[in-house]
Structure 1
Amino acid sequence: MLLTEPVLTADDATATALLNCLVREVCGPEQQVWADGGRLVLRLPWAGVVLRTGLARPPVGPTYRLTAPYEEQREDAWIPASWDRLADLVAGELELATGRPNPEFLAQVGDSHGALTAILAARGEPADEPYLADEPYIASEQSLVAGHRFHPSPKARQGEPDEWLRYAPETRSRFRPHWLAVPDELVAEEGDPSAFTTLQGYGPPPPPGHKTLPVHPWQLSLLSHRPVLRRALAEGAVRDLGPSGVEAVPTSSVRTVYLPEADVFCKFSLDVRITNCVRKNAWYELSGAMALNRLLPRPFLNATFLSEPAYRTLALADLHLYEGLGVILREGVKSLPGTPLLAGALADPYGTLLAKLPAMATPEGAHAWWNAYVAHVAPPVLHAFLDHGIVLEPHLQNVLICVDAEGMPVHAAFRDLEGTKLTAGRWDLAHLPARVAEALTYAPDQGWNRVVYCLLVNHLAETAAAVADLHPSLELWRTARDHFAAHDAHPQVRALLAGVPLPAKANLRTRWARSADRVASYVSAPNPLALPL
């Protein structure tokens, strides 16, 4: 079972994330990483600084399990390297390597550390184990306390903690959405109108000639200063109906919330920076979600795409309000087979969800679990891209794994049409506005990199690492290889099976360059699917 019992602190989680980024994006590509007994040593090639960290176990695939202590070499001695010292070293190395400073970087790492400190204090003592809780799906959504292991500021969140802690999934929060009544002539919407009609039954009733618009309370507070909205509320053109009678549960993405009673998700447009990006529903993303919802085939190779049937917003003379109050509805999870669990919760090295699945109790059960897991996740993603030109984004926060009573995977559900794209040249999008079509497409190489990164590097490699934490002797990647070999008629898959390096999204370098996620750069990572020559 677990070789070490992970204990989460803000200091260690921040240090580990920074070192993971260094290994993947800086030291690894320059061949400046090597194992030394139970430690990993890395040299910053431009600064010449040598660091080392503990290793929980030998690596499985392209990912390490780094542990304290974190140390820096000074002459012949090793001294402790705090998280903020590591942040300084990373900033210095990247400035030397790129020739460009980034005055925001250290503040963002510090904000992430501060946010995690506040989250841990607010979360308090561990609740019942997620799988044994009354609501295992919700518990899994709210369990990602440390966040992305390969991001320099995984918990960076715009605003002060007292503004957002009450809405943070990591604190196991629940809140009541706010509702506005909007005159029919000021409503902008697309998609299936019955989706909002159903949701309307869970909020305050609108006056005649009006429709209701659910709003995130944090979002409303951030927009309350907009003159156009203030005037519309003061004059009664838009009416404030107050909070709803049903609770919303924030999911791992923060801005998407689940209403269990209605079994529907609301993807709100907070328009705040979370981790790397400003999260909002731009006008072309609102329309793009509806276009994709119409185009994507369902059902799809024994998997589920959670549909996004409608959006609604307020059409006043303020684009910021139009986008800021736009909400996309997403279908719920109660019709899925088995018990849905967030994939990220299963792979979380600080969590206990995977270890609580009965199927994971023995090596044989764990191997069968992994085989079923890959069988449900990988083929639909490969089939979508290779045969249909659909670029899914199956990272750990975008996939739900449905399990049976023993915890065995029986189904996979993919979500979030914002990340889903179409391969340019394979779809006729001439009927769409140019900006909408542009946002919906990737060039073929760009799409393949995104698919391989999300599926293999972000998702399966991290899940394999979590399985190996419990049963380190298992041979996992030969089993996974069989599910990829079924698609070896395609040259891209043959190249994967031949062992070409994997594209790993360079979150550290992207943050340093202050680039949009869509144009993120990639570095090469070892390919665990390769057989020994």
Structure 2
Amino acid sequence: MCDTPAERELAEELESVRRESASAYLAALPGARAAVLARLWRGLVHEPLPWIAARVSGRDGIVLRLVDGRRLHGPPSDPWATGTAVAAVELDGVPYGHPALLMAALRVPGGAPFAAELDHSVASLALSRTAPRPAGPPAEPWEWEQRSPDGHPYHPTCRSRPGFSAAEQLAYAPEHRPVVGLRLAPVTGATVRGPWPAEWRDGDAVLVPVHPWQAGHVLGGRRTLPGPPAHPLLSLRTLDLGARMHVKTALSTRLTSQVRDISAYSVEYALATSEVAERVANGLGGRLHIARTLAAAGAGTPDLAAVLRESPYVHAGTGEQVIPVAELPGHYASHSPHERLERITEFARLAVSVCLDLLDVGVVLEAHGQNLLAVVDGEGRPQRLVYRDLADIRISPARLARHGLPPPPLTGRLLNDDPTALRRKALSCLITGALGPLAGNTTTLGTLLEAATRDLPPTPDLRALRTEELPVKALTLMRLSSKDDQWALLPNPMSVKRRRGKVSG
């Protein structure tokens, strides 16, 4: 039943570390293959891959003609659909039901390492799906982050965890709900920004929190001390410490698209970035809270650093909950269809207005389902937003100056004044990471965006959102090329909706 190296490796490990889960893992493999294949097929159909010459849609699906003359045939693909499964895609008439085997057969540049990542993604997704689903509502706020096994709804490597054994996934991944014992690495001469906790100092040395996977696989024989217990969150390498604080640790392996280490640049500018974001957010009339960066420390290398930040859950008022946007679909699953559409439309109005207002001022958030959280009342109505993890926001000095705000005390990659780059960052993260998964299809996404943008003040950014093709990260192209921020432009769901309205009218 195991078709690939990663599947077999995890199956063999499970037999030795958790035999009672082995049969559930094998049963989950077909569904995991179909789920990852659906994400890969989405990328092949909608992204500007240089080895695809033409795409033709017909009654029986979509045909992709490759530049070498071969043909791929698969089902229709809605770029905003979630929870989809693709049983097989045919390459010159030969069906492939496993995304890794399909990618290997394509023999395209970058395909071999990407096929290995797809293999890991399938195997890890199957293992994630063996985790028992939580019974009842969360007892602790961080439990919201441990409820979904499937990861990014559009990314083909949604669960790729290279270097993680079955035992390590069970011990560290949030969907398995473990308690993780952090390690503390003594660092003399560390770079420290902000008030570092006194209990994490030892004479002249700073004790830097280290993920146990990092301590075992990357830091080698470096001495570490026992650290506090913590609960892993959606991003796996970020953990809840209790006492209103989260810690982001370095994890030098590629999860989804990025190697999850922490650069010396991020440590240096962690507090300054937080202060700029807070100052701008404070001008939004209480619609947005920033989970403040409290302190950062590092040894000057990306594999040994940590960032401490305020827990986003401190921003819940009486009778309110703070829920990661990635978990809102599950939260609204018990609502009636009418109530659910009402709630996600309210969220869309709030999120689009906040992100466009910030963009106009000159701060661009990566407002995807992990970083963006919604404060909801007892009926699930969104009241405010919370944003966390400021490492990859963008700041426009020119736009800040236009609004009479001082220049940011920063240099380097966080600064950008290019309107196209700023819009792409803002809109692609918000729509691909938050609104698209909530909508679940193109038609509903068009409805949400129409409602969210209808009464906003006109700006060039709003005009671009309403009329231009939507920029999204080309997730498959990025993995094949090993380059960050490659883009696809998709038909605007609002334009599609308007055209359909005219035809039906």
Alpha carbons 2:374, 2:384 under 8 Å: kept:
yes
Note the C-alpha offset of 1:340: 1.2
Alpha carbons 1:423, 1:441 under 8 Å: kept:
yes
Q: TM-score, normalised by structure 1?
A: 0.76
| Cα distance between partner residues in 2 of 1:512 and 1:476 | 28
| Cα distance between partner residues in 2 of 1:271 and 1:101 | 21
Q: Percent identity between the aligned chains? A: 22
Equivalent residue for 2:116, pick from 101, 104, 107: 107
Alpha carbons 1:402, 1:412 under 8 Å: kept:
yes
Matched with 2:383 is 410
Matched with 1:332 is 311
Note the C-alpha offset of 1:154: 2.1
Equivalent residue for 2:481, pick from 513, 521, 533: 513
Amino acid at match of 1:82: H
Amino acid at match of 2:90: E
| Cα distance between partner residues in 1 of 2:358 and 2:366 | 11
| Cα distance between partner residues in 1 of 2:63 and 2:72 | 6
Alpha carbons 1:102, 1:513 under 8 Å: kept:
no
| Cα distance between partner residues in 1 of 2:133 and 2:465 | 41
Alpha carbons 1:14, 1:153 under 8 Å: kept:
yes
User: Can you list the C-alpha shifts for 1:344-368, whole angstroms capped at 9, x where unaligned?
Assistant: 1224xxxx44313xxx2241x2232
Q: 1:118 to 1:258 in 2, by over 3 A?
A: same
Matched with 2:44 is 22
Q: CA RMSD in A?
A: 3.2
Matched with 1:214 is 209
Amino acid at match of 2:227: P
| Cα distance between partner residues in 1 of 2:308 and 2:487 | 32
For residue 322 of structure 2, give the secondary structure of its aligned residue in structure 1: strand
For residue 345 of structure 2, give the secondary structure of its aligned residue in structure 1: helix
Asked if 1:256 corresponds to 2:233, the answer is no
Q: Which region of structure 1 is more displaced relative to structure 2, 145-154 or 421-430?
A: 421-430
For residue 88 of structure 2, give the secondary structure of its aligned residue in structure 1: strand
For residue 374 of structure 2, give the secondary structure of its aligned residue in structure 1: strand
| Cα distance between partner residues in 1 of 2:212 and 2:421 | 37
Matched with 1:34 is 57
Alpha carbons 2:186, 2:208 under 8 Å: kept:
yes
Number of residue-to-residue matches in the alignment: 457
Note the C-alpha offset of 1:303: 1.0
Note the C-alpha offset of 1:69: 3.2
| Cα distance between partner residues in 2 of 1:274 and 1:18 | 16
For residue 149 of structure 1, give the secondary structure of its aligned residue in structure 2: coil
| Cα distance between partner residues in 2 of 1:7 and 1:270 | 27
Note the C-alpha offset of 1:382: 0.4
Matched with 2:265 is 284
Amino acid at match of 1:242: P
Amino acid at match of 1:19: W
Note the C-alpha offset of 1:146: 2.2
| Cα distance between partner residues in 2 of 1:31 and 1:354 | 39
Note the C-alpha offset of 1:242: 1.7
Equivalent residue for 1:117, pick from 126, 131, 144: 126
| Cα distance between partner residues in 2 of 1:422 and 1:212 | 31
| Cα distance between partner residues in 1 of 2:56 and 2:291 | 41
Matched with 2:157 is 153
Q: 1:281 to 1:79 in 2, by over 3 A?
A: closer
Q: 1:361 to 1:279 in 2, by over 3 A?
A: same
User: Can you list the C-alpha shifts for 1:152-191, whole angstroms capped at 9, x where unaligned?
Assistant: 32222231414631111232222122234556xx342112
Alpha carbons 1:115, 1:156 under 8 Å: kept:
yes
| Cα distance between partner residues in 2 of 1:431 and 1:478 | 37
User: Can you list the C-alpha shifts for 1:451-510, whole angstroms capped at 9, x where unaligned?
Assistant: 1111223321221117x9xxxxx966345324324444212312332x321111111111
Matched with 1:384 is 358
| Cα distance between partner residues in 2 of 1:511 and 1:126 | 31
Q: 1:353 to 1:334 in 2, by over 3 A?
A: closer
Note the C-alpha offset of 1:253: 1.2
Asked if 1:355 corresponds to 2:377, the answer is no
For residue 104 of structure 1, give the secondary structure of its aligned residue in structure 2: helix
Q: How does 1:182-197 map to 2 (within 5 A)?
A: 186-191=189-194, 193=195, 196-197=197-198
Q: 1:310 to 1:101 in 2, by over 3 A?
A: closer
For residue 335 of structure 1, give the secondary structure of its aligned residue in structure 2: helix
Unaligned 5+ segments in structure 2 are 1-27
Note the C-alpha offset of 1:292: 0.8
| Cα distance between partner residues in 2 of 1:79 and 1:215 | 45
Q: 1:456 to 1:117 in 2, by over 3 A?
A: closer
Q: 1:177 to 1:73 in 2, by over 3 A?
A: closer
For residue 309 of structure 1, give the secondary structure of its aligned residue in structure 2: strand
Matched with 2:348 is 374
Asked if 1:143 corresponds to 2:143, the answer is no
Q: 1:525 to 1:355 in 2, by over 3 A?
A: same
Alpha carbons 1:215, 1:268 under 8 Å: kept:
yes
Asked if 1:494 corresponds to 2:475, the answer is no
Asked if 1:43 corresponds to 2:64, the answer is yes
Asked if 1:70 corresponds to 2:51, the answer is no
For residue 402 of structure 1, give the secondary structure of its aligned residue in structure 2: strand
Amino acid at match of 2:282: P
Matched with 2:12 is none
Matched with 1:477 is 446
Matched with 2:98 is 82
Alpha carbons 1:20, 1:149 under 8 Å: kept:
no
Alpha carbons 2:238, 2:249 under 8 Å: kept:
yes
For residue 85 of structure 2, give the secondary structure of its aligned residue in structure 1: strand
Matched with 1:128 is 135
Unaligned 5+ segments in structure 1 are 1-5, 234-239, 469-473
User: Can you list the C-alpha shifts for 1:333-386, whole angstroms capped at 9, x where unaligned?
Assistant: 332132111111224xxxx44313xxx2241x2232122111221111100111
User: Can you list the C-alpha shifts for 1:5-62, whole angstroms capped at 9, x where unaligned?
Assistant: x9983212221121121122159997725363xx64342443542422378xxx5x84
Note the C-alpha offset of 1:73: 7.2
Matched with 1:295 is 276
Q: TM-score, normalised by structure 2?
A: 0.80
Alpha carbons 2:100, 2:116 under 8 Å: kept:
no
